[in-house]
Amino acid sequence: MKRNNINVGKVVKQTLAEQGRSVSWLATKVHYSVPNMYHILGKESVEVDLLWQISELLGVDFFAYFSEELSFNMNVPHDK
C-alpha cells in the first residue's frame, strides 16, 4: 500500500507561519539548534517524539494527517 506524500515538515512550517511563530522559536522550545530545526523541517517526515512535542506546542494534531489517510486507505478495496 502506498501512502500519499504528506510532507509534515512543510505542514509544520505553514502552521508556524499561520500562528506568527518562527522556526527559531520552535527550535528553542524543543532544545534544537536553529540550523538543525530547519534541516528537520525540510524533510517529509519528522521523528515521532519530536512531532509529538511540536503538536503539543502548536496545539495541532499533526498525526491526524496520517490517521485520516490511513483510515481512507483501509476502507478502499485493494488488489491482492
pLDDT in tens, 44-57: 888 999 999 999 99
Single pTM value for the model:
0.79
Question: pLDDT value at position 1?
Answer: 43
Give the pLDDT band of residue 6 (cuts 50, 70, 90): confident
CA dist 18 and 20 (Å) reads 5
CA dist 50 and 71 (Å) reads 23
Q: Which domains does the chain have, with CATH numbers?
A: 8-75 (1.10.260.40)
| pLDDT tens for each residue of 55-73 | 999 999 998 887 876 766 6
Residue 76 DSSP label: S
Instruction: Give 61's contacts (C-beta < 8 A, 6+ positions apart).
Output: 55
